[in-house]
Amino acid sequence: MTSYTLILVLMLLFSVLAVISRNMLMAAISLAVASVALTLVLFALSAPWAAVFELSVCAGLITVLFVSAVSMIRKEELFMQEGRMRFAMLPLWLAAFGAGLWLWGGRLGISLLAIPSFREPSGVGVLLWGPRIYDLMGQACIILAGVLVIRTFFVGRRD
Amino acid sequence: MAELLKLNWFFVLLLTFLGLYCLLVSRNLLRLLIGVEILSKACILALISSGVATGKINTAQTLAITMIVVEVVVVAVGLGLIIKAYGVTGSIDIWKLDKLKDRS
C-alpha cells in the first residue's frame, strides 16, 4: 500500500512539473514520466490491458508528437513570458485544495453506487469483440476522422 | 476496498484540479494541451479505480482503452491546429489569436 501511494504521489509530482516547467521539452518528458507512473498504478490495480495501451500510446506516441511539435517552434516562443507568479503559486493552491479535500473527505462516507449486475465475460478481448463491439467501431471512426482532419490541415496547394 | 477507492479518488480530484488550473492560467497553447492530457489521465484513473471497486474491471478496461484512443486523436488534431496557428500568427501565445477582432 505504501509503495502504491508513493507511485501515485510520483505521478502527481511529475504532472505538477509538466505544468510549471518553463522548458516545454522538459514538460513533455515530465508528462511521459507521469504516464509511466500511471501505467504502474494500472498494473497494480490488475488492469494490464489498459496499462499496456497507456504505456505504448500515452508515454510513447504522445511524447513523440509533443517533442516533434516543440522542435518545430522557435525557442523564443517556447520561453514566452506568461504570468510566472501564477505558476509559482500552483503548488500552494494544490496543497491547500488537497488538505481541504482530505479534511472534508474524512467526514464523508463513500458508498459505492449500486450498479445493475450483469454477468461480465472473463477477458477483455471477449468483452471488446462481443458486447462492446460498437466501441471498436467508434474508435475506428474517431481515428479516421483524426486522419482526415490532419490531412486537411497539411494539404498541398494545387494550382 | 473502500480505502483504496478513497485514495484513488483523492488523487483523481487533485489531478483534475491541476488540469483545470493549467487550462485557466496558461497562455501557451502547448501547455493548454498538456492540461487536457492531465485531465484525461485523471479520467483513466477514475475509470479503472471504479472498475476495481465494483468488480467489473474488464468493462472498465475496455472503456479506458476507448478513452486512450480518443485522447491520442485529440492530441494529434490539437497539435496540428497549434502548428497551423503558429504558421499563420508566428506565435503560440493564445492572446495573439485575435486577428478576427481587428476586422471591421
Cell of A60: 510513447
CA atoms of B21 and B8, how far apart (whole Å): 20
Instruction: Write out chain B residues lying below 8 Å of A80, CB-based.
Output: 27-28, 91-93
Is A25 in CB contact (< 8 Å) with chain B? no
Look over chain A and give the mean of its residue pLDDT values, rounded to a whole number.
85
Best A3, A29, A58 residue to mutate vs chain B (most B CBs within 10 Å):
A58
Q: Is a pLDDT exceeding 70 seen at residue A151?
A: yes
Q: What is the pTM of this model?
A: 0.88
Strand (E) or helix (H) holding A14: helix A2-20
Cβ-in-10-Å burial (0-12, 13-18, 19+) of A142 comes to middle
* pLDDT band per the 50, 70, 90 thresholds, residue A38: very high
Buried b (16+ CB within 10 A) or exposed e, A100-118: ebeeeeeeeeeeeeeeeee
pLDDT tens digits for range A10-35: 999 999 999 988 888 999 999 999 99
pLDDT tens digits for range A62-83: 999 999 999 988 877 777 667 6
Question: CA end-to-end span of chain B, whole Å?
Answer: 61
* pLDDT band per the 50, 70, 90 thresholds, residue B104: low
Look over chain B and give the mean of its residue pLDDT values, rounded to a whole number.
88
Is A128 in CB contact (< 8 Å) with chain B? yes
> What ipTM does the predicted assembly reach?
0.90
pLDDT tens digits for range B65-81: 999 999 999 999 999 99
* pLDDT band per the 50, 70, 90 thresholds, residue A108: low
Q: Higher-confidence residue: A108 or A36? A: A36
Is A96 in CB contact (< 8 Å) with chain B? no
Q: What are phi and psi of B48, to 5 degrees?
A: -70, -40
